[in-house]
Amino acid sequence: MIKTDMDLRMEALKILMPNGYAYSGDETNYELTKPDGSPDKIPTLEEMNSKVAELRKDYEALQYQRDRQNEYPTVEELVVALYDTDDKSAIEAKRAEVKKKYPKP
C-alpha cells in the first residue's frame, strides 16, 4: 500500500496528539485539557510538517521491503515447496534473486 501525504499527516497527528483531539492547522500554540486534567498542547503547523517529513523519510527507507514483497513467492508457492525438494530449491533461488535485486540500503 502506498502512503499518501494524507496518510502520513494522519499518522503524524496520532503520534503528536494521541488523545485524539482535532487539528485545525492553526499556528496558534494553545493548550487543551486531557481527560485526566493535565494539559495537552496542539501541535503547530511546523511541528506537524516536521513529523510528516520524519515519517516520509522512514517510509521511503523501507521501499526495498515493499519491492521485495511484490516479487517474493506467494504463500501457496511456499506451502507446495515444503513437500517438494525441487520446488524448495527454486523458491530459495527466487528469494535470493529478489534480495539481490532490492538490497537493503
Given this model, what pLDDT does residue 42 score? 76
Give the start-to-end residue ranges of the domains of the chain.
1-61, 63-105
- Kindly report the backbone phi and psi dihedral angles of residue 32, in degrees, each rounded to the nearest multiple of 5, phi listed first: -115, 175
Q: What is the DSSP letter of 35?
A: T
Q: What is the DSSP letter of 64?
A: H
> pLDDT tens digit string along 4-47?
999 999 999 888 887 765 555 554 555 566 667 666 677 888 99
More confident: 23 or 92: 92
CB 81, CB 90: distance < 8 Å: yes
**Picking from 33-37, 52-56, 92-96, 97-101, which range would have the lowest pLDDT averaged per residue?**
33-37
Given this model, what pLDDT does residue 79 score? 84
Q: Which of 63, 60, 47, 37 is nearest to 12 (CA)?
A: 47
Instruction: State the DSSP H helix or E strand holding residue 41, giving kind and residue range, or none if neither.
Output: strand 39-41
